């Protein structure tokens, strides 16, 4: 019982922090499968296709919460004006994010439009820069929340008075992110990519305590990543990735590798497997399958931190689906990265 109360107390505290906007942005363990969330310069940055659409789903803390954290995203982007711009093109895209956090029904909905420009540098390099701008809304059901001053020593009693007073239970604002990428592909077997982005560059106000609250400005989030696609032979392509993000005093470092194994003659069917590690938190095994340019992947965060004592190592499950394709007139266009 004490352990359950302790977990509940920590979760309640986290909601109070969320309400005062000290909580962190949503994230995906499969950051490489949510490209527009990771960096707006990824818009139209598709080395092996002309367009892509995808969706991600994350379910977290279901082992310790009756209502777990759920995050859903959908995105699409495409390359345009490749026949009108010399050695370059535009990327256009958009994404929708929805996140529901726990019993307080803290719900976030965000819609962004993205633009990026991509310029070839010689025959083996590509430089990209982009931004997205969008609308965000957060809503909370305060009737479902309980606070530390409502703890009577054994239970949380919502009938007890609390010092926490919300001015409103929803907030909306405009948000903007910027980023840049660089890719190097010296031959058909090697592709290296690195990028850097800043989220919330306009520092929007987000608070449930009114405009006069000392809290509310969202801290800028800085994110960097590096990856590579390396073709070892006609059957195996490996993809090492590393991702680092920092916001306020919180940091997130994820690194690992996955590999694609060719099950057919020209890569129409591929088996995907890999493993990642989030520093100080979890190990993340991943499996997947690609069939006819549609990729399905599943990963699971196995908790290794102190929370594992309470959640039995059961962290978060995550699904991703991505469809890529070429325009009819470009079906024979050469890929910039290794392929089967």
Please check whether residue 30 lies inside any domain of the structure: yes
Please check whether residue 339 lies inside any domain of the structure: no
Please check whether residue 213 lies inside any domain of the structure: yes
Contact (CB, 8 A) for 191 and 185 = yes
Please check whether residue 95 lies inside any domain of the structure: yes
Specify which residues 52 forms β-bridges with. 77, 324
Secondary structure E strands in the chain: 51-60, 69-80, 88-101, 106-120, 125-139, 170-187, 190-199, 221-231, 236-247, 250-262, 269-278, 282-291, 294-303, 314-325
Please check whether residue 337 lies inside any domain of the structure: no
pTM of the model: 0.85
Comparing C-alpha atoms, which of 298, 312, 293, 336 is closest to residue 29? Answer: 298
Please check whether residue 340 lies inside any domain of the structure: no
Dihedral pair phi/psi, residue 327, rounded to 5°: -65, 150
Please check whether residue 335 lies inside any domain of the structure: no
Please check whether residue 70 lies inside any domain of the structure: yes
Contact (CB, 8 A) for 283 and 276 = yes
What pLDDT, on the 0 to 100 scale, is given for residue 84?
Answer: 85
Q: What residues in the chain have per-residue pLDDT under 50?
A: 1-23
Domain count, the chain: 1
CATH number at residue 90: 2.40.160.40
The residue range of the domain holding 304 is 2-330
């Amino acid at each position: 019982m004490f352990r359950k109360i302790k977990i509940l107390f920590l979760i309640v505290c986290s909601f109070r922090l969320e309400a005062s906007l000290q909580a962190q942005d949503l994230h995906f363990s499969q950051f490489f499968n949510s490209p527009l969330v990771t960096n707006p310069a990824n818009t139209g940055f598709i080395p092996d296709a002309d367009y892509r659409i995808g969706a991600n789903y994350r379910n977290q803390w279901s082992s310790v919460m009756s209502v777990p954290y759920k995050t859903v995203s959908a995105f699409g982007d495409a390359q345009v004006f490749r026949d009108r711009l010399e050695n370059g093109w535009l990327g256009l895209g958009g994404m929708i994010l929805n996140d529901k956090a726990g019993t307080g029904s803290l719900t976030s909905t965000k819609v962004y439009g993205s633009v990026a420009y991509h310029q070839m540098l010689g025959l083996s390099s590509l430089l990209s820069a982009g931004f997205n701008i969008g609308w965000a809304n957060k809503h909370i059901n305060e009737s479902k929340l309980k606070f530390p001053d409502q703890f009577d020593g054994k239970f949380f009693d919502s009938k007890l008075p609390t010092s926490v007073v919300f001015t409103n239970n929803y907030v909306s604002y405009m948000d903007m992110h910027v980023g840049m990428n660089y890719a190097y592909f010296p031959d058909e077997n090697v592709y290296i990519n690195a990028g850097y982005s800043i989220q919330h560059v306009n520092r929007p106000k987000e608070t449930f305590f009114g405009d006069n609250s000392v809290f509310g400005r969202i801290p800028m989030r800085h994110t960097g990543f590096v990856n590579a696609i390396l073709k070892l032979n006609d059957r195996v392509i490996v993809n090492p990735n590393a991702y680092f993000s920092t916001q306020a005093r919180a940091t997130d470092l994820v690194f690992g590798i996955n590999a694609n194994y060719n099950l057919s003659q020209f890569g129409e069917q591929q088996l995907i497997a890999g493993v990642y590690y989030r520093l100080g938190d979890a190990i993340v095994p991943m499996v997947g399958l690609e069939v006819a340019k549609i990729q399905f992947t599943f990963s699971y965060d196995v908790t290794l931190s102190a929370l594992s004592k309470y959640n039995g190592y059961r962290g978060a499950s995550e699904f991703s689906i991505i469809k890529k394709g070429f325009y009819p007139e470009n079906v024979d266009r050469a890929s910039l990265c290794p392929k089967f």
